[in-house]
Structure 1
Amino acid sequence: EHTFKMLALSPEHTSSYSINLSGVTIADRDIYDHVISLFEQYQIPAERICFEITETSAISHLESALYFMDKMKAFGCKFSLDDFGSGLSSFSYLQKLPVDIIKIDGAFVQDMDTNPINRVFVENIKRTAEAMNKKTIAEFVENADIEVMLREIGIDYGQGYHIHKPEPWYEASQE
């Protein structure tokens, strides 16, 4: 509320302002109504506000974060993902842990043949792995198109039904 009061007292300033939202705030399903009432009370244009949420908060409270973000974006606000890479799938952890292989989550691989954003993400993980002298494994290799893309990118190993269906180790060792 402090930021809204400050903006209302200085209508001549037209710059945008960022407001950090905590995980507790994001988890509160009533926050949307409260924030809308602040916009109405102080007559602040929505495009002047950018809400910042951390990757950890967004992941920890995904459903409520998505609800709030969708509603506020429709209202005209912007969002910034703060501390990207410091959350559950962190690059900072990657630098500290003595791992040899980076396993790329199937959520980014399974539709990279139709989602160019995920392809770029996989490419960047590969580049990061190379810079750290680590190998890569892609999960969810479910079709030939994805396999070709992964080979083009230079992913070292693949895992998924297109390559081989899972089976008990004793059956695999008899082949």
Structure 2
Amino acid sequence: MSWVNRIRKGLDEGRFCLYEQEIRPVNGALKGNDRRELLLRLRDESGALVPPGSFLPAAERYGLMPLIDRWVVRRAFEIIAERKHQPRKIASYAINLSGATIGDSDFVDFVAGLFAQLDVSPASVCFEITETSAISNLDEAQKFIARLREIGCSFSLDDFGTGMSSIAYLKHLPVDIIKIDGSFVKEISNSKVDRAMVEMITKTAKIMQKQVVAEFVENLAILDELRQIGVDYAQGYAIGKPVPVLTLWEEKIA
């Protein structure tokens, strides 16, 4: 319960912030389509960063995630609007949504209003939901995704492969991108089983005309394996660590 007060106070005092991490094409065919994932962070009263794993479980348990998600989306849209006229273009920004927001009937109208208010193109936004949250609310997830895709957003299914029936559910979710769970990716160079899993997911996604992102790409050996398999995008420390929003941007255009 103490986290509930700390979270509300953090929102009131403007201590939430966004970091960003690169999502880079694995091969030259997609060059120029760089992406970013926007990641939530909280600074405590002393200014130290609090890891999401410390406060998000409390936010989920006590029903604060829709409030946090709306803050994240608004701030993300402001960032996209600010960067719209910069020389280096980012194809899209990934924004994470919680399972609670999937059931929020007013959220789509909130997003549509922000697009109009801040003059942000829906094509520049890719919402990410986890496989677990999508499957646990399958009917609501289908409707939710369909409504936002009608506006022009894309969708990514995060942590894919962790569920018992991942491939079966994939047929019923109108997502554009599959994000392979890092537990399979990080051992791909040492485990034939993990490599086979990544190959299977990639092949199935391509048949269904979906793009594939691999997370936890921690070294160049993993990146080379992913290139051989045909994965579209890579994300991880071998590509770039999460950095405060604007820091990476200023470095790139300096």
> Whose strand fraction is larger, Structure 1's or Structure 2's?
2
TM-score by length of 1: 0.49
**Larger RCO (CA within 8 A; separation ≥ 6):** 2
TM-score by length of 2: 0.35
If you compute each CA radius of gyration, which structure gives the higher value, 1 or 2?
1
